[in-house]
Amino acid sequence: MGKNNYILTAKTFFLLFFFVFFFYPLILVLIKAFTKTSVSFIDVLVSNKKLIWNSFFQASVSTVFSLLIGIPAAFILAKRNFFGKKFVKAVSLIPFVFPSILVVISFVIIFGNNGWINYFLKNFFGFESHVQFLYGFSGIILAHVFYNFPIVMRFVSDSWENLDVKMKETAKTLGAGKKQVFFNITLKQLMPSILASALLVFIFCFMSFAIVISLGGIQFSTLEVEIYRQITRNLNFGTASILALFQFIFLSLIGLIYFHYSKKYSIKEKGIKEKPKNISLNSVKGIIEALFVVVLVFSVLLPIIALVFFAFFNQETGTFTLKAFEKIFYSGKSLSGTTPLLSVFYSLIIALIASITATLTGLIGSLKKISIINFFVASSVSVSVITLGLGYFIGFGSGNLFFIALGHSILAFPFTFRILKNALNKIDKESIDSAKTLGANEIEVLKKIQFPRIKNALFVALGFSFAVSLGELAFVLVLYDGIYPTMPVYIYRLLTTFDLFAASAMGLILIAVSFIVFYSIEFFSKDTRVF
């Protein structure tokens, strides 16, 4: 038996990795769904039809509002130049991996019954009682839109700035007006990116967990929340598996449609692009655009401002204090079996392993012609965190740091694959074909031609997957078993003890690390596509 028989090729490694750490856990969920419960598949779905409707309805409404904000933002990002544009791009990525538990904290501070807005209404407008902004359906939609409008903005702006202006100019020459050009040409060209972003937002909102469980209450509970409840409270793995399987099948179909449109949305960059214009403050339109950017940035930064206020200021006296940070760094207080500094360490280790693994598998998947790669991408983007966590719990048990990290890499894979695939698609085939004609093998082509042109994309993929892992809560909650609490888990435990100040301080540390990663992405990306 030759030496090569013992060496796994990159393609084999990829397929083996996905089978063991993705399909195997899902197969175990499937087996549980049909062998460990006395209730039929249909009966479980019928008895939970309200939860299914809640999931579908809140995801649909969240998607619509995300589009209403994201599309105008995409236009300004693609067609306008303004001071701080790179900063705005970096800030726009923060909500996407802003830990959901931090959104809950900051939104309670701002929109809660005793929050800033209600305080303002009572003291300046004479409101006698609080206005219910946050808890219930409105709170879920508010938080989801905060999270997901940047996805629409980035998807659509990437397409918008790369539109070939030839068709537009030809239509104008033939007498078409601005509205005709927009609806008959521009909108049609943008529609794949709009649909792709809408489908992705729908998937993420459908699988939302922490926001729904914290802000929605029992009346607005969803499938994801019920799966978690069946696992942790009822220990009913059969019912949980049936609900998880249904959700996975449904979202995988949505994911396949998303993948179809996401491929179509990648508009070629070889055409003549329209140069962005500067925002003019001498016109009403320019002032509106500038105000829109300011409000957008302020809306994204406001939750962070709320956390800063709670972490650095005494709420009774309004004086500056560092007691919350002293509690984190010096008290050594143990909570859920760990100290704050250990939770930071665990988060960084897990994120490092996850980002390296996700980037490696994303690179192999984008380089190799794997026939079922579309299915891998659609499935991994559609699997819920709780569903995957359930499969890992059944298959690998709990309390293993390495398995937690590998699970995070599966969750980050669709993004690393997309980032690297987009970068590889920019390399002209002629140079690769010429190198192969001259005798270069695949390794030499990768080293001499492909790697120099995708090294920025590799950095972006690494940073983005690192940040995704850093902010993940639900997967760790299912698996950590009190042994490896990460920063989001520690923040969650602080909230259960009503220690909002220490939770805010820990949240700021998490945000600071994430923002450094994001700004590095924007600095080094050189127009590398993140979505």
Token pair belonging to 424: 């590889």
* Secondary structure of residue 81 in the 3-state scheme: strand
Specify the pLDDT at position 359. 93
Sign, CA dihedral 488-354-465-208, equals: negative
Specify the pLDDT at position 55. 92
From the list 462, 504, 506, the residue with the least C-alpha distance to 351 is 462
Q: Per-residue pLDDT tens for 457-467?
A: 888 888 888 88
Query: Which range is least confidently modeled, 35-39, 306-310, 428-432?
Result: 35-39
Instruction: Give residue 193's pLDDT band: very low, low, confident or very high (50, 70, 90).
Output: confident
What integer is the mean pLDDT of 190-207?
Answer: 89
Helix (H) or strand (E) holding 117: helix 116-124
Specify the pLDDT at position 512. 79
366 and 446 in contact (C-beta within 8 Å)? no
Cα–Cα distance for residue pair 215/237, rounded to 1 Å: 25
The length of the chain, given as a count of residues: 531
**pLDDT over 50 at 5, yes or no:** no
Query: Where does residue 198 rank: exposed (0-12), middle (13-18), buried (19+ CB within 10 A)?
Result: buried
188 and 195 in contact (C-beta within 8 Å)? no
Residue ranges covered by each domain of the chain: 3-525
From the list 403, 398, 356, 406, the residue with the least C-alpha distance to 380 is 406
Q: Residue 126 region, left (φ>0) first, then alpha (ψ -120 to 50), else beta? A: left
Cα–Cα distance for residue pair 103/59, rounded to 1 Å: 18
Cα–Cα distance for residue pair 194/197, rounded to 1 Å: 5
**pLDDT over 60 at 342, yes or no:** yes
Specify the pLDDT at position 68. 95
Specify the pLDDT at position 285. 86
From the list 285, 259, 483, the residue with the least C-alpha distance to 375 is 259
> Token pair 């894979």 is at which residue?
413
Cα–Cα distances (Å) from 33 to 30, 239, 391, in that order, read 5, 7, 11
Specify the pLDDT at position 28. 85
What share of the chain in percent tops pLDDT 70? Answer: 86
Specify the pLDDT at position 4. 42
Alpha-helix runs per DSSP H in 3-84 = 10-18, 24-35, 41-47, 49-79
Sign, CA dihedral 117-122-127-130, equals: positive
Specify the pLDDT at position 324. 78
| CATH code linked to domain 3-525 | 1.10.3720.10
Specify the pLDDT at position 264. 62
Sign, CA dihedral 463-467-470-475, equals: negative
> Token pair 């980035």 is at which residue?
154
Cα–Cα distance for residue pair 226/131, rounded to 1 Å: 29
Q: Which positions ≥6 away from 241 have C-beta within 8 Å?
A: 29, 30, 32, 33, 36, 37, 390
From the list 467, 476, 444, the residue with the least C-alpha distance to 517 is 467
Q: How many CB atoms lie within 10 A of CB 482?
A: 11
**pLDDT over 60 at 270, yes or no:** no
DSSP labels for 284-311? HHHHHHHHHHHHHHHHHHHHHHHHHHHH
Token pair belonging to 253: 């179909």
What integer is the mean pLDDT of 271-295?
Answer: 82
Query: Where does residue 260 rank: exposed (0-12), middle (13-18), buried (19+ CB within 10 A)?
Result: middle
Query: Where does residue 263 rank: exposed (0-12), middle (13-18), buried (19+ CB within 10 A)?
Result: middle
DSSP labels for 334-386? -BTTB-HHHHHHHHHHHHHHHHHHHHHHHHHHHHS--TTHHHHHHHHHHS-HH
